[in-house]
Chain A
Amino acid sequence: MRKISTYTAILRSFANSPVAGPLLTLVLVFIIFLIAVPNFATWRTISGIVTAIAISGFVTVGVTILMITGEFDLSVAPMIAMSGYLYGTISTGADSVIVNTLSKLGLPVEGGNLGLAIISALLVPAVMGLINGLVLISTNVPSFIVTLGTRQIFRGIVWIVAGGVLFQTTENLSLYEIFNGRFDLVNNLSFLEGANFRTAMLWLLGVAILFQLILARTRFGNHIFAVGGGEGAATAQGVRVNRTRVMAYIINGFLAGMAGIISFSQFRSVRVAEQAGIELTAIAASVVGGALLTGGYGSVWGAIIGILIINMLRSGVILLKIPFIPADNFPAVVGVTIIAAVVFNNYLRSRSTS
């Protein structure tokens, strides 16, 4: 009897958790591909999926935090590009608009400045997030529209800062290896044959743990949920709603900056249209991961699982070699996933209520 009640208690608390639906979906998708796709259960495929979520993972965590406050950000792609240009040019000291301007201002960027590269690549996108937040609270225009506008404006600024050209480097700084190099310590383990993990997954894991703790265990996290779950009630209880919103945008900018660093560290190149379209993938991943578009509900782990599901589907569907769905027709599959996942999550939520 006791055994059953403990079991039910665990089951209920699992069903109540926002991660329940997404986790079940992930396991389901994994099992289906395990059966249907011959080469799916290889370390090569699995490490490929994990590596692919690193860059979009940071963005998804930020976008999810924003969605919990009830807001959106469509301007993450130019933030990532801005971060990539700042990080790439300042770390190498290469001849570029950014480096030339900074050295004219008397900053020590000749031959590269690693500290300044990291700080500016995180700080500038955070300021861009701050701008989004300030425009939102001062105009009361829906964030969807505000960030649709700032996306274009930010892209224009990135274009100016970039001098309109792609930046790439052949330099192989150890900094790049730290942020997103081959994780050979793991890859060389004998039982992980064919694995190709990269160090970015550790950074993503660290960021996920940090922000999950902030959301669940701090006052700021509590206010994030309150603002998205009931703005009026939060205001009446003395929560500083606008300040909370602006903070969420700053965090989102910071995480986009992180994505820029991770991306440049892997590819050693950045273009003005870097990661274009990622804003919608991130929103999709958040929703698949259990976040509500209406705000007040979601989790960081859900976000990570959501982006994992989407990337696992991509790999699986490509390996399945279904006619008409090659790699570049993959968005159609994402579309189906989004709707199916939301229906499934809603079903689970209503089941756990009764």
Chain B
Amino acid sequence: MSQENGLSVVEMKNIVKRFGTVEALRGVDFTVEKGKVHALMGDNGAGKSTLIKVLTGLYTPTSGDIYFEGKRVTIPSPADARALGIETCYQDLALIPLMSIWRNFFLGREMCTNLGPIKWLHQGEMQRLCREALHDIGIEIRSTKEMVGRMSGGERQSIAIGRAIHFGAKLLILDEPTSALSVGETRKVLNYIENAKAKGLPVIFITHNVGHIYQVSDNYTIIRQGRKVGTYQKGELTQMDIADLITGAREV
């Protein structure tokens, strides 16, 4: 069924999502190729986050099909998305500030021993693995026991992305990862994305900031008012073209 003959990691076809009478997505096609960084762009409210939440199981689409590695799938919950190997880093739902780094890192996939109904945490092992995983990606932290709420925005984003890269077996989705960051922190985050790409991990990078993604993306898909404007290759458009297409200042 996949038109790219297995070259695509995910293919979403004619996705429609309605919230009551509001049509957030009006038949969007979206394909991500293996090993590529794909920017998903659009203005606030264009429907990019809705599209991603359909892909990650937070929303059920009103209609439309999703193919993952060529196979048709339904993704009814975040746990199902994760089971497929889709790892997401949300701008607003990434980490829990009142919990420690290691607890955040392993939240929802804790390593434990089953003692009947009680799942006893392997605290020491998770702390060690968390430190190692973050170190491998290039993130240095003082202690995995530190509360996330005590860290800067950039540090938090690094940890959230580090977690997504560590566990993201097949597809990494980053929802506005640079929106709240300083220039220096943004450069770091872009480096993590380059690293992920170098490992062959496909990345969907959602943003409305053209400048941030222009250098790292291989493809751009632009959506506006719940419809796809188009998908473009790197170099096909200038930053100015992209900005015009996002805002609708220019029609295709």
Contact = CB atoms under 8 A, between A and B. Distances in A.
A239 B103 CA distance: 13
A235 B108 CA distance: 9
Interface in A3-20: 16
Contacts of B77: 238
A238 B95 CA distance: 13
A229 interface: yes
Given A218-B120, A219-B119, A222-B121, A236 B98 contact: no
Nearest to B79: A238
A296 B96 contact: yes
Contacts of A230: 93, 95-98
Contacts of B121: 217-219, 222
Nearest to B149: A353
B150 A353 contact: yes
Contacts of A333: none
A220 interface: yes
B58 interface: yes
Contact of A225 (B78, B90, B103, B119): B103
A218 B117 CA distance: 10
Contacts of B98: 225, 229-230, 292, 296-297
B92 interface: yes
Given A238-B82, A297-B98, A232 B119 contact: no
Contacts of A235: 58, 78, 93
Interface string B72-96: 0000011100100000101011111
B120 A233 contact: no
Interface string B89-115: 010111111110001000111101000
A236 B96 contact: no
Interface string A182-220: 000000000000000000000000000000001001111
Given A233-B96, A238-B79, A296-B96, A226 B118 contact: no
A222 B78 contact: no
Q: Give the interface size bracket for B toward A.
A: 20 to 34
Contacts of A232: 90, 92-93
Q: Is the interface of A mostly helix, strand, loop or mixed?
A: helix
Contacts of A138: none
Nearest to B121: A217
Nearest to B92: A232
B108 A237 contact: yes
A225 B99 contact: yes
A297 B119 CA distance: 21
Contacts of A23: none
A296 B96 CA distance: 9
Contacts of A218: 112, 118-121
Interface in A214-273: 214, 217-220, 222, 225-226, 229-230, 232-239
Contact of B97 (A219, A220, A229, A236): A229
Q: Which of A219, A232, A292, A296 has the most CB of B within 10 A?
A: A219
A225 B96 contact: yes
B210 interface: no
Nearest to B83: A238
Q: Which of A214, A232, A237 has the most CB of B within 10 A?
A: A237
B137 interface: no
Interface string A111-130: 00000000000000000000
Contact of A214 (B56, B90, B118): B118
B147 interface: yes
Interface in B20-76: 56, 58
A233 B94 contact: yes
A238 B82 CA distance: 8
B182 interface: no
Q: Which of A16, A225, A236, A296 has the most CB of B within 10 A?
A: A236
A233 B112 CA distance: 21
Contact of A222 (B79, B95, B110, B150): B110
A92 B119 CA distance: 39
Contact of A219 (B82, B99, B112): B112
A220 B90 CA distance: 24
Given A225-B96, A353-B150, A237 B107 contact: yes
A214 B115 CA distance: 12
Given A218-B112, A229-B96, A296-B99, 6 more contacts: A219-B121, A233-B90, A236-B78, A236-B93, A237-B107, A237-B109
Interface of A: 16, 214, 217-220, 222, 225-226, 229-230, 232-239, 292, 296-297, 353
Which 6 pairs between the two chains have the least Cβ-Cβ distance?
A237-B108, A219-B119, A238-B108, A230-B96, A229-B96, A232-B93
28 contacts: A217-B120, A217-B121, A217-B123, A218-B112, A218-B121, A219-B112, A219-B121, A225-B96, A226-B99, A229-B96, A229-B97, A229-B98, A230-B96, A230-B98, A232-B92, A233-B93, A233-B95, A233-B107, A234-B108, A235-B58, A236-B56, A236-B88, A236-B93, A237-B78, A237-B109, A292-B98, A296-B98, A297-B98
